[in-house]
Amino acid sequence: MENFRHHISQLIDISEIEWNSIKEVTVQEYFNAKETILDVGKIAKNIYFIKKGLIRSFYLLNGQEINTYFACDNQFISSYASFIAQQPSLEQLEAIVKTEVLSIPYEKLNALYKQHPKLEKLGRIIAEKNYLCVVDRTLSMQTKTAKEKYLEFIDKYDFKIINNVPQHQIATFLGIAPESLSRVRKQLSTS
């Protein structure tokens, strides 16, 4: 819980009363490796803070899994569009390794916002960070070469992700063929 508090404190200043209110609505959960957290078509009822572990977000396209996001320790994750709109999710969330999270249900989060308006700032900051990631990823997908995408990936992402995510999943995340990723990795290892 202290990591969670520290992470929140880096985003906004919170009082002891606000922190206690957050603790009251937060539930600790555990997911095994390859366990589905959210299925396509289900409504995202929770936002998760990863205490320890690794979660991916993906969708199916013609039977192929296309990875859209990886999150690890001290990061938030949800199917944000589903969570915000309370509509069926277009993506699936899955634990890649054994994962421990803190979850906050949608209704309780909104009640927190009403009870402590300052906490709405926290929600806004998380939403802004998520939006900036989406913009950055879109620009990268549309303007960078396979090599540039991979170099950016290893620069931006935690080693936990790089070391635990299978190469074919990284390839779909980068929008390149697995063979292209293998070529890029081989080029980089020989240079």
pLDDT in tens for each of the 191 residues of the chain?
888 999 999 999 999 999 999 999 999 999 999 999 999 999 999 999 999 999 999 999 998 999 999 999 999 999 999 999 999 999 999 999 999 999 999 999 999 999 999 999 999 999 999 899 889 989 998 999 999 999 999 888 877 788 889 999 999 999 999 999 999 999 988 87
Provide the residue ranges of all domains of the chain, joining segments of one domain with +. Answer: 2-131, 144-191
Contact assessment for residue 129 and residue 81, using Cβ atoms and an 8 Å cutoff: no
Amino acid, res. 177: A
Contact assessment for residue 153 and residue 146, using Cβ atoms and an 8 Å cutoff: no
28 DSSP β-pair partners? 102
**146-156 vs 118-143: helix crossing angle, rounded to 10:** 150
Contact assessment for residue 180 and residue 146, using Cβ atoms and an 8 Å cutoff: yes
How far apart CA 157 and CA 138 sit, in angstroms, is 16
CB atoms within 10 A of CB 136: 12
- How much is the pTM? 0.90
- CATH superfamily of domain region 2-131: Jelly Rolls (2.60.120.10)
171 three-class SS = helix
